[in-house]
Copies of this chain bind each other. A is one copy, B any other.
Amino acid sequence: MGRELIMALFLSLSLLSVPFAAEARIRHYKWEVKYEYKSQDCYKKLAITINGRTPGPTIEAQVNDTVVVELKNSLLTENVAIHWHGIRQKGTPWFDGTAGVTQCPIVPGDTFVYKFVVDRPGTYLYHGHYGLQREAGLNGMIRVSLPPGESEPYTYDHDRSILLTDWYHQSTYEQATGLSSLPFDWVGEPQSLLIHGKGKFDCSTPGLKSGLCNATNPECSPYVITVIPGKTYRLRIGSLTSLAALSFEIEGHTMTVVEADGHNVEPFVVKNLFIYSGETYSVLIKADQAPTRNYWAVSKVVSRNNTTPNGLAIFNYYPNHPRRSPPTVPPVGPAWDDVTPRYAQGNSTKARQGYVIPPPQTSNRHIVMLNTQNTINGYTRWSVNNVSYNLPNTPYLIAVKDRLNHVFDQTPPPDGYDSQNYDIFSIANNTNATTSSSIYKLQFNSTVDIILQNANSMSNKTSETHPWHLHGHDFWVMGYGQGKFDINSDPKKYYNLVNPIMKNTVSVQPYGWTALRFVADNPGVWAFHCHIEAHFYLGMGVVFEEGVEMLGRYPTSITGCGDTKSYRKP
């Protein structure tokens, strides 16, 4: 309460002293990235931290502020790159932080300065976009507020943020080595779910190395969300799981969804919120239950028949003790394999009245992307239209700008697959995909439709949920469907041309499809990929290029790898 008062005073003073209240400011962050031993879920292991923390510090800014992150890489031998997830980087595509696409990774000892404008209010994320570093703990949230005097179309008393993740005890090197092995050696389901960096692994699990798990370590005491009875909370929820699709709920409370990926949502009420890796939501929660006790906040894996225990936090009604366990058994959450409520949530998520950005009614290009698991020379891979993605040594942005055509495949990737003959419900007969580093060149300002078509994986009767994330743009979510997409009937039947929500990440459900539309209006080179860390690592992604010729000189700080090593002192 005191803090809010001080903030209010501060803001009033700011209003007095600053002639234009909405004037954009520089938000300067100095970050050091390094390994530290952490016991996020009571099990001690190395985590990649920012200034000693994981999740890293929340970036807080106002619309049109410039965020400057001066990132010092203090890892021993590992490079790093950080993606600002949901920030479109208009005019600064070189600061998108996608290693291999928009920059060379930052080598140890070097300091890299990211500088970009946050041009829209809302809830965004940041995370490592190199190797599997995101899941090693290199992640955090971005909160962009409206200028003073402006307000959201909904009211609340307080604003809180939580980041949901899953957590492995094996290092990213161990995981990656397994993924690239013959035979395929998968790390399996995560050991824990973390709520804003805190989880609880069962230290009595047999077979653990001694001395590493300590159930009484305060680092793994449950995360606490303290609320004052009767007040309404805006809870900003982001997911940066490496694998898990989640359901999140607060025992005994409903949540009104009001924001998704930075866009206002026509409010709807849920008991539990489904959230996929790369998504953010704001929900409103009223602390309207019996104030004499605390309640459980629960995250739970859905869409996989899994072994990961639910993540638990405490929804603490002031003045109950924040560590006091709720007297009830935590809610068990929805059935993992019931897709019906997940489709329902997707279909309920529409642009809010008065905030609708109408989509173009037609598109210039139509790309169908079949999502499959494949093998290539025996190695397990994930593919789009039977092409598994390999990043080139020289980042595309540099390669395209400097016309280094030899550094990546110049044959365009396919705009579709043989939908007539491909049975999405069976394991593919032809298990041999190809790898490629080619990219989709989009006409500048053209409207592009993407149909993400899910299919059976390499396991019998299995189709996974894939959350797809687009860099540099928001897209309209035109519609969802089950089974094989039919271009002749499904758009008419399922597309929302009136008030579709805009997002940067959307899921495609098992054996289903999801249709997106976006305008290629942001000069740069942009990744579009499954946000499951291991899936992208194994090739489940593509890259779009548009209008690079319109860009000025890129900052040389993005160089240092591949062909740029032939560059000379000016």
Contacts and interface: CB of A to CB of B under 8 A. Distances in A.
12 contacts: A34-B177, A37-B181, A77-B79, A109-B561, A110-B562, A110-B565, A171-B171, A209-B209, A557-B565, A564-B567, A564-B569, A567-B569
A105 interface: yes
Interface stretch (A127-135, A245-253, A450-458, A493-501): A127-135
A131 B560 contact: no
A141 interface: no
A201 to B, nearest CB: 14
Contacts of A78: 77-79
Contact of A568 (B110, B391, B393, B567): B567
Contacts of A109: 100, 391-393, 561-562
Contact of A35 (B34, B35, B36, B177): B177
A565 B560 contact: yes
Copies in the complex: 2
Contact of A556 (B177, B562, B566): B566
A403 to B, nearest CB: 10
A77 B393 contact: no
A107 interface: yes
A104 B565 CA distance: 10
Contacts of A402: 569
A110 B393 contact: yes
Contacts of A569: 402, 564, 566-567
A327 interface: no
A76 interface: yes
A448 to B, nearest CB: 29
B561 A560 contact: yes
> From DSSP, what is the main secondary structure of chain A's interface residues?
loop
A210 B212 CA distance: 13
A131 B76 CA distance: 6
Nearest to A560: B560
Contact of A570 (B174, B207, B568): B568
Contacts of A210: 206-207
A172 interface: yes
A547 interface: no
Contact of A76 (B46, B172, B181, B562): B172
Interface string A122-148: 000000001111000000000000000
Given A171-B171, A567-B567, 8 more contacts: A34-B177, A46-B173, A76-B176, A79-B79, A110-B562, A559-B565, A564-B567, A567-B569
A561 B80 CA distance: 13
A291 interface: no
Contacts of A491: none
Interface in A383-399: 391-393
Contacts of A413: none
Contacts of A108: 79, 105, 131
Q: Which 5 A-B pairs have the closest CB atoms?
A: A207-B210, A77-B131, A209-B209, A560-B560, A567-B567
A209 to B, nearest CB: 4
A174 B564 CA distance: 32
A35 to B, nearest CB: 5
A101 to B, nearest CB: 13
A552 interface: no
A36 B180 CA distance: 10
A76 B132 CA distance: 8
A211 interface: yes
Contacts of A561: 107, 109-110, 560
A559 B131 CA distance: 22
A68 to B, nearest CB: 18
A139 to B, nearest CB: 15
Nearest to A208: B209
A69 B462 CA distance: 45
A345 to B, nearest CB: 35
A538 B559 CA distance: 29
Given A557-B565, A569-B567, A76 B107 contact: no
Interface in A134-185: 171-174, 176-177, 180-181
A130 B109 CA distance: 12
Contacts of A174: 46
Interface in A94-116: 100, 104-105, 107-110
A80 B79 CA distance: 11
Residue among A105, A173, A181, A565 with most chain B CB within 10 A: A565
A565 to B, nearest CB: 5
A556 B570 contact: no
A134 to B, nearest CB: 11
Nearest to A211: B207
A131 to B, nearest CB: 4
B564 A560 contact: yes
A538 to B, nearest CB: 12
Nearest to A174: B46
A551 B112 CA distance: 31
Contacts of A104: 107, 560
Contacts of A76: 131-132, 172-173, 176
Nearest to A178: B37
A51 to B, nearest CB: 15
A36 B177 contact: yes
Given A46-B177, A208-B209, A570 B565 contact: no
